[in-house]
Amino acid sequence: MLKAFLSFSIICCSYVAQAQNYVQINSGDSEGDIIRKAASVRPTARQLNWQKLEVTGFLHFGINTFTGKEWGDGKESPSLFNPTKLDTDQWVQVAQKAGINLLILTAKHHDGFCLWPTNTTDYSVKNAPYLNGQGDVLKSLAQSCKKYGMKIGVYLSPWDRNAKSYGSDAYNEMFRNQLTEVLSNYGKIDEVWFDGANGEGPNGKKQEYNWSSYYDVIRKLQPEAVIAVMGPDVRWVGTETGYGRDTEWSVVPANNLDQNSIADGSQQQMNIQPKGDMSLKDVGGRANILKAKGLVWYPAETDVSIRPGWFYHAQEDAKVKSPEKLLDIYFHSVGKNGVLLLNIPPTTEGLIHAVDAENLSSWKGLRDKIFNNNLLLGQEVKLVKNGVRKKLKEGGEQIWTSKSDDKELIFEYKAKSPLRFNVLQLGEFIQWGQRVEKFEVQIRNNNAWQTIKEGTTVGYKRIVVLPETSSTHIRIKIAQSRLAPFVDKVGLYYYDDIVKLDGKAHK
């Protein structure tokens, strides 16, 4: 008993000591060492806060809205930019009604047209008819977000098809100045989104981006903002369908981990974009981490547009994703250890289209209908194997964990009358890392336990569709975990229209 207690305390203390979002792998490390190291990697505060947002929104808006294109070439006249009813309060209200917690505006897309009155180029709202050149879309959005308590992020495309300096070092300076403007003048910014597209500029030249100098500007001006996609904090899931991986680890290989990649001072986080093959089917799985040079907390963001295109095109008004499709996307993004980034492009008038607004609101209605009714609440619960139920001093809800470093855990719910369910939710208390490798759902049938579903990773949140089941006895089994699991957000639900979820990642 004392031995178990001691080993539990030692493990707890070592977690505290290793509160870093990366770890080096040494050449002599055994498989066991590497797995333990992987389980000890933890999110930074900004990564954790971002993960908890769950559902975020993208606003693709700009010169393309008025040309019908997806990628402008930087030659379109600013005179085209003239939204007549632009209402950022409406954008925020629509988003808030849909349970969206942060909105990212394309302050500059690849065409180079700036939605704020920048001093770095004439190619901006300053020279547009919109509000006689006095408009500032970013300012207007920032004010609406503040008014309604919505977080805000900026998309600033490094690829700029208008800037004359593109392809020279002067462009790096211009881009840092643009970042400085958007990160200094609009209050708190919670996410900076850098796209991977890098084509030619107006002179036919390509740019060598000075990424670390961009990150320095962001860390200095907005230290709480995550830097996404071409950045150190948030990884692109790898598709634009809204569907993540069945096995999704937030801890992945970082093969460029060295002293230069670690942030100065704190030594707690990696500060350049982790390099490794992030397009693999199981990026953070054993096979991949065992050959890695280092590991980093680099969680997935799952982006998709509510329409076929990223920008608004009137001819797509009949192709807005339905509430059921959006629900399926929610299950496969947030429900697969990702943060959903759902694009809702404003129209030429400068409003979210009524169809989009309607579908978003019905989508939230569906999520509430399902997830506001956790059938396990109030049911009798029993520890079957290794279980300990506790409230951590770090806060949050009660969690399930196992005694000492036992990696298998089983707990059981006994209902007064049969529960009918077809959806399971599980989560991990990721402040302490991501650990679960295999889970099962079991029910008791004729006095024998029968597995009705098996899964792999859990992460921050895992939602799975189960075969429709009716039972009084339900077990959750964590069959394999990298270290003692910390399970939370346990729920069983029933959705009467489950057949409408096809689980297919087509657009």
Question: Contact positions toward ligand FUL, by CB under 6 A?
Answer: 70, 195, 197, 303, 310
Considering the complex, state which of residue 310 and residue 460 has its C-beta at the smaller distance from ligand FUL.
Answer: 310
CA gap 108, 116 in Å, rounded: 9
> What backbone phi and psi angles, to 5 degrees, belong to 444?
-95, 125
| 449 Cβ neighbours under 8 A, 6+ residues apart | 442, 443, 475
Angle between helices 88-97 and 137-148 (to 10 degrees): 40
CA gap 26, 28 in Å, rounded: 5
Considering the complex, state which of residue 193 and residue 494 has its C-beta at the smaller distance from ligand FUL.
Answer: 193
> What's the closest the beta carbon of residue 391 comes to ligand FUL, in angstroms?
40
For tokens 């993208």, name the residue.
Answer: 58
Q: Cβ of 12: how many Cβ atoms within 10 Å?
A: 12
> What's the closest the beta carbon of residue 310 comes to ligand FUL, in angstroms?
4
> What's the closest the beta carbon of residue 303 comes to ligand FUL, in angstroms?
6
Considering the complex, state which of residue 25 and residue 225 has its C-beta at the smaller distance from ligand FUL.
Answer: 225
Considering the complex, state which of residue 170 and residue 197 has its C-beta at the smaller distance from ligand FUL.
Answer: 197
Considering the complex, state which of residue 112 and residue 459 has its C-beta at the smaller distance from ligand FUL.
Answer: 112
> What's the closest the beta carbon of residue 197 comes to ligand FUL, in angstroms?
4
State which H helix or E strand residue 169 sits in.
helix 169-184
Say if residues 66 and 82 touch (Cβ distance below 8 Å): yes
Considering the complex, state which of residue 25 and residue 95 has its C-beta at the smaller distance from ligand FUL.
Answer: 95
Residue 367 burial (C-beta neighbours within 10 Å; 0-12, 13-18, 19+) = buried
> What's the closest the beta carbon of residue 95 comes to ligand FUL, in angstroms?
17
- Of 109, 215, 118, residue with least CA distance to 157: 109
Considering the complex, state which of residue 155 and residue 171 has its C-beta at the smaller distance from ligand FUL.
Answer: 155
Q: Hey, which residues does 492 pair with through a beta bridge?
A: 424
Buried/exposed 24-62: b ≥16 CB within 10 Å, e otherwise = ebeeeeeeeebbbbbbbbbbbebbbebbebbbbbbbbbb
